[in-house]
């Protein structure tokens, strides 16, 4: 029995030793695995810390390695307008990924028109070469078309069109582009010579010149062409009109002039467009037009045409919003800048205007149409030897409204009519009297100073829809006797406030609001 107890005790001791050894082995493995996890985590933290220590470049690089390759393939860009309300600033387009990813090589994005067969001698028709360069550039985001310096390119009517072109294309104009010297390429008539349509982020830049060869059009202007209605207010002392009207002629090279005169450059239905650095000169009609555009920036830009070139507006805005125009020199035969219906959020500053017809809102409401213009600021402008300074012009019979207008810090020199509101505008011999009108309110004039040669202020507002909330502040205009009869300020149905005394006194402005006026119908409001 004693031996049996000893054997049993030995067995129990052996089992206990085995169990203890087994637990010890398991705990060691667990600790070893735990140390392994900590080691990997520490290494990972060290790598992350190293990237952080070396700045954002390392972190970005680490992310790019882990990004799936398929992420470089993006869906086609949308033509929806940019979300920003502020007019765009000029900047180089960002590098975009293409093909297998990564920034496009600079050489791959350059398309020189000479490489597409352009001669650049000023005599050979280079239209096809420009079309070829555009077709290639259209396929690459951020591409650049080169119009090199030291060359003159003869180009006929041409269209650079989206909507399937890539975004942020640059048109680098360092040479000269010249229009046809005959009417034949325009057929029965075109609205423009060069058209950019349905594009996003397009920039025209460079130090070159775009010449519309407009003299053949000016010389063939028919007698029926409209004339600026404000001419009726300018009566020469010697009794002559001082206005020459070109007779209709037939050009020996181009045949009969088409019924429509082309604008030199027209943007239509485009978003986030910029024009900078270039000069447009001698356009048959308007020099630069923006129609149905959102987000427009024009700066360091020049227009140059003779003072007697008919209907050659410098910059024409229509149905466009979020527009910034600054640091420009505009010399032409009509309005330096004209703002038509459908425009809002327009900011114009640091502009030199002259010769020309000033900066105008309108004409609006022609043929009983509805017109809407709002939130326009024109400031820090120099005007020399222009017909008008700042002007609003509407037709009888129109509807809609003009509101939220600021003309500020305008320096005029020998300007015939510095401040004009004309709601009886008529650019033909006779116009029918009508009671309805585009409503004008919230029109502000401040710090408008300098010299005039005919009349300092002309406010002619509608009988049934008087102008309201017209404010004058810091107006100081002195006469210069030249060749025209001088007149005192004129007001008709104009209500507002003289915030400070004016020179000369504008005593005809009616203080306050009209006692009764026509109330706009719902369909008239904008």
Cα 127 versus chain centre, distance = 26
Handedness of CA 424, 425, 428, 432 (dihedral sign): negative
Token pair in block for residue 513: 């609001």
Residue 141, SS3 per DSSP: coil
Token pair in block for residue 334: 């009509």
Report the largest interatomic distance among the alpha carbons of the chain, rounded to a whole angstrom: 155
Between helices 2-53 and 56-66, what is the axis angle to 10°?
120
Handedness of CA 397, 400, 403, 408 (dihedral sign): negative
Are 182 and 253 spatial neighbours (Cβ–Cβ below 8 Å)? yes
CA angle (286, 292, 297) in 5-degree steps: 70
Are 282 and 213 spatial neighbours (Cβ–Cβ below 8 Å)? yes
Please count the CA atoms within 13 angstroms of the CA of 130 that sit on its side-chain side.
25
Are 172 and 210 spatial neighbours (Cβ–Cβ below 8 Å)? no
CA distance 480 to 458: 17
Residue 19, SS3 per DSSP: helix
CA distance 236 to 483: 6
**Hey, which residues are catalytic here?**
357
CA distance 18 to 22: 6
Q: How many CB atoms lie within 10 A of CB 3?
A: 7
Are 321 and 352 spatial neighbours (Cβ–Cβ below 8 Å)? no
**DSSP category for residue 390:** E
SS (H, E, C) 409-440: EEEEEEECEEEEEECCCCCCCCCCCCCCCCEE
Closest CA to 312 of 396, 237, 213: 213
Closest CA to 445 of 372, 392, 511, 384: 392
Token pair in block for residue 2: 């004693």
Reported as type and span, the H/E element at residue 56 is: helix 56-66
Q: Are strands 152-154 and 110-112 parallel, antiparallel or unpaired?
A: unpaired
Residues 6+ away with beta carbon under 8 Å from 452: 412, 414, 415, 416, 417, 418, 477, 478, 479, 480
Are 455 and 233 spatial neighbours (Cβ–Cβ below 8 Å)? yes
């Amino acid at each position: 029995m004693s031996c049996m107890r000893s054997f049993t005790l030995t067995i129990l001791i052996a089992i206990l030793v085995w169990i203890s050894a087994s637990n010890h082995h398991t705990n060691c493995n667990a600790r070893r695995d735990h140390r392994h996890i900590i080691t990997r985590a520490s290494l990972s933290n060290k790598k992350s810390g190293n990237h952080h220590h070396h700045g954002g470049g390392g972190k970005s690089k680490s992310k790019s390695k882990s990004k799936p390759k398929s992420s470089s393939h993006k869906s086609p860009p949308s033509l929806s307008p940019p979300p920003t309300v502020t007019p765009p600033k000029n900047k180089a387009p960002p590098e975009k990924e293409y093909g297998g990813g990564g920034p496009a090589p600079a050489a791959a994005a350059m398309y020189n028109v000479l490489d597409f067969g352009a001669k650049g001698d000023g005599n050979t028709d280079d239209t096809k070469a420009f079309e070829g360069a555009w077709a290639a550039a259209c396929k690459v985001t951020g591409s650049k078309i080169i119009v090199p310096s030291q060359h003159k390119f003869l180009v006929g009517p041409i269209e650079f069109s989206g909507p399937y072109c890539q975004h942020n294309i640059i048109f680098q104009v360092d040479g000269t582009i010249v229009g046809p010297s005959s009417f034949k390429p325009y057929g029965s008539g075109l609205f423009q010579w060069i058209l950019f349509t349905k594009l996003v982020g397009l920039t025209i830049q460079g130090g070159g010149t775009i010449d519309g060869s407009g003299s053949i059009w000016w010389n063939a202007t028919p007698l029926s062409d409209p004339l600026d209605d404000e001419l009726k207010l300018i009566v020469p002392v010697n009794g002559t009109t001082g206005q020459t009207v070109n007779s209709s002629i037939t050009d020996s090279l181009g045949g009969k002039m088409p019924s429509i005169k082309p604008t030199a450059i027209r943007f239509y239905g485009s978003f986030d467009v910029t024009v900078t650095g270039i000069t447009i000169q001698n356009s048959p009609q308007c020099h630069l037009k923006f129609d149905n555009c959102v987000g427009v920036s024009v700066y360091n830009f020049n227009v140059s045409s003779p003072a007697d070139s008919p209907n050659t507006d410098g910059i024409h805005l229509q149905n466009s919003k979020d527009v910034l125009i600054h640091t420009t020199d505009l010399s032409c035969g009509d309005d330096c800048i004209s703002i038509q219906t459908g425009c809002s959020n327009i900011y114009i500053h640091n502009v030199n205007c002259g010769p020309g017809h000033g900066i105008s809102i309108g004409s609006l409401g022609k043929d009983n149409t509805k017109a809407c213009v709002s939130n326009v600021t024109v400031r820090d402008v120099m005007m020399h030897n222009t017909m008008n300074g700042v002007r609003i012009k509407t037709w009888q019979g129109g509807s809609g409204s003009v509101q939220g207008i600021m003309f500020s810090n305008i320096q005029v020199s020998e300007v015939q009519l510095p401040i004009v509101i004309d709601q009886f505008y008529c650019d033909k011999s006779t116009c029918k009297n009508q009671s309805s009108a585009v409503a004008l309110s919230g029109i502000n004039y401040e710090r408008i100073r300098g010299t005039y040669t005919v009349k300092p202020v002309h406010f002619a507002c509608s009988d049934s829809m008087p102008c309201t909330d017209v404010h004058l502040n810091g107006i100081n205009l002195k006469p210069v006797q030249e060749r025209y009869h001088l007149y005192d300020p004129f007001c008709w149905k104009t209500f507002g406030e003289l915030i400070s005394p004016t020179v000369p006194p504008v005593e005809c402005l009616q203080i306050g609001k009209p006692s009764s006026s026509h109330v706009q119908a719902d369909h008239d409001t904008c």
